[in-house]
Amino acid sequence: MKFTILGYNQAKLMEFGLDVIDAVLLRYFVDFKDSGTMVKETIEGDLYYWLKYEGIMKELPMLNLKKDSIYRRFKNMAEVEILKHRTIKSKGVYSYYNIGSKYLSLLSDSIPIGPDYNPKPSDYNPEQKINLLKDKSIKNNNIYSQVIDYLNKAAGTKYKASNRKTKQLIKARVNEGFSLGDFCKVIDNKASEWMNTNMEKYLRPQTLFGPKFEGYLNQRNRGEQRMEALNQVLKRSKKTELDSACNNNYVIPKCEVCGEAVGIAVKMSFGTRVYPRACRCRREAYERQQMVDMNKQKQIRLKQIISNSMMNKSFRECTLENWNHQLGNENLYNIAKKYIAKFPQMKTENKGMLIYGEPGNGKTYFSACIANDLVKASSSYMCWSYSSY
């Protein structure tokens, strides 16, 4: 299974109930947002970007989506907190979006990406110089709240914008001429470098906004460095058409282990961009891990079934594999095998099997062998002897 699609973790997409069309729409929005050409407004203290559904219909005709369908898909992504959404009614209805609190979880843990490209403005969502909204519901919050909110969402922290020391640090940097975008850039750079490491504890205001702020600002995160290298390779290439198969038309870097390309060039309306992809050895490693996880889950499931089965411990090791053929009863052995083979059909038809006979002739052992073989297919059962109660 391809680990990432358009830079997003495929398993995470499915976990949120999203499909490949949602991934395309989300990538379109993020790329367009990062191009700097979208209309943006501060709504209730947060920054949002105006999204025109008709523009998406014209930009991505291959999706063959209607306006309502596009709206529902973006609304669904907002409901699962991949995006944030605000609808403003003022001389018209306008939909505004921004990245939600769970967006970062979609990014591949193994292949970081960064938005270091500058796509061209779209003809259908052009840069606009007018203020569409001048409404009392739209308020400009102070920079302290904006910076700390961004830090908390990026690092999963709960710092307060009202902290006196934090406000002093932010004010000092603002007085030096740094903007809100600079604060966000510093947070992105260090979050990319320090998250999930022993340095994660330093994703805090006193470290990020202190004397080293300018150095952090001019530092490129690992995702940006990787994307810049891939984009430089693309610029040197003579071909600019879509290379969905990652063949030799593009000189995209290859994995040192398996030799497969680690990038894919995609041509979109605002230019061609290289996205990371998992090579064969990464895919195989992912599939192996999936098998390990599946086996662990199966073992947990089997233990739960056995634990709930009420079977006496002395019979839990009884299976047809260790059946004692020297004692005879081959007919019972064959009946048990036939019953196990046809169990799904018998279960559907609500049929069972009655076993009777004198005490001590192996009825419980026979039943335990059948039950323990059925549990391999994760079939639940209950098996106990009245003599135990």
Are 230 and 326 contained in the same domain?
A: no
Choosing from 188, 210, 239, the residue where a domain stops is 239
Task: State the pLDDT at residue 328.
Answer: 60
Task: State the pLDDT at residue 239.
Answer: 40
89-103, 139-153, 230-244, 370-384: least confident range? 230-244
More confident residue, 10 or 381: 10
Mean pLDDT of 111-139: 40
271 located within any domain: no
Task: State the pLDDT at residue 352.
Answer: 83
Are 230 and 338 contained in the same domain?
A: no
Task: State the pLDDT at residue 9.
Answer: 84
Give 382: exposed, middle or buried? Use CB within 10 Å, 0-12, 13-18, 19+: exposed
pLDDT reading at 311 higher than 50: yes
Task: State the pLDDT at residue 303.
Answer: 66
99 located within any domain: yes
Task: State the pLDDT at residue 259.
Answer: 82
Which whole-number Å values give the CA distances from 173 to 167, 217, 240, in the listed order? 10, 12, 42
Choosing from 239, 272, 300, the residue where a domain stops is 239
Task: State the pLDDT at residue 227.
Answer: 56
Are 18 and 139 contained in the same domain?
A: yes
Choosing from 220, 239, 258, the residue where a domain stops is 239
Of 152-161, 277-286, 314-323, where does the model show the most confidence? Answer: 152-161
111 pLDDT tier (thresholds 50, 70, 90): very low
pLDDT reading at 193 higher than 70: yes
Are 235 and 314 contained in the same domain?
A: no
Are 72 and 193 contained in the same domain?
A: yes
Which whole-number Å values give the CA distances from 316 to 287, 307, 367, in the listed order? 32, 10, 11
Q: What is the dihedral of CA 122, 124, 130, 131, to 10 degrees?
A: -100
* DSSP designation for 121: P
Mean pLDDT of 242-265: 66
Task: State the pLDDT at residue 110.
Answer: 38
pLDDT reading at 138 higher than 50: no
Q: Which amino acid is at 65?
A: L
Task: State the pLDDT at residue 235.
Answer: 54
25 located within any domain: yes
Are 231 and 313 contained in the same domain?
A: no
Of 197-206, 315-324, 361-370, where does the model show the most confidence? Answer: 197-206
208 located within any domain: yes
DSSP conformation letters of 199-239? TGGG-SHHHHTSTTHHHHHTPPPHHHHHHHHHHHHHHH-S-
Query: Can you tell me the distance from the alpha carbon of 105 to that of 109, in angstroms, rounded to the nearest whole number?
Result: 9
Task: State the pLDDT at residue 270.
Answer: 62
For residue 19, list its beta bridge partners: none
Are 115 and 225 contained in the same domain?
A: yes
77 pLDDT tier (thresholds 50, 70, 90): very high
Are 228 and 321 contained in the same domain?
A: no
Are 321 and 230 contained in the same domain?
A: no
134 pLDDT tier (thresholds 50, 70, 90): very low
Are 220 and 322 contained in the same domain?
A: no
Are 166 and 27 contained in the same domain?
A: yes
For residue 138, what are the domain limits? 4-239
Task: State the pLDDT at residue 245.
Answer: 40
125-129, 213-217, 239-243: least confident range? 239-243
Q: Are 281 and 287 in contact (CB under 8 A)?
A: no
Mean pLDDT of 7-11: 84
Q: Which residues contact 363 (CB under 8 A, 6 or more apart)?
A: 355, 356, 357
203 pLDDT tier (thresholds 50, 70, 90): very high
**pLDDT tens-digit map of 36-52:** 778 888 888 788 998 98
Which whole-number Å values give the CA distances from 200 to 15, 85, 115, 158, 379, in the listed order? 26, 29, 22, 14, 45
Q: Count Cβ atoms below 10 Å from residue 26 Cβ, excluding itself.
A: 24
Phi, psi of 2 (to 5 degrees): -65, 125
pLDDT, the chain, mean: 76
Task: State the pLDDT at residue 244.
Answer: 39
* DSSP designation for 281: H
Q: Which amino acid is at 107?
A: L
Structure tokens of 32?
């367009």
The kind and range of the H/E element at 120 are none
Percentage of the residues of the chain whose pLDDT score is greater than 90: 13
Are 345 and 207 contained in the same domain?
A: no
More confident residue, 301 or 171: 171
136-140, 183-187, 210-214: least confident range? 136-140
Query: Can you tell me the distance from the alpha carbon of 94 to that of 50, in angstroms, rounded to the nearest whole number?
Result: 7
125 pLDDT tier (thresholds 50, 70, 90): very low
CA 199 to chain centre: 24
288 located within any domain: no
Structure tokens of 121?
């403005």
266 located within any domain: no
126 located within any domain: yes
130 pLDDT tier (thresholds 50, 70, 90): very low
**pLDDT tens-digit map of 155-185:** 888 999 889 999 999 999 988 888 888 898 8
Task: State the pLDDT at residue 60.
Answer: 87
pLDDT reading at 361 higher than 60: yes
Nearest to 118 by CA among 34, 185, 39: 34
Q: Which amino acid is at 344?
A: P
Query: How many domains does one find in the chain?
Result: 2
250 located within any domain: no
80 pLDDT tier (thresholds 50, 70, 90): very high
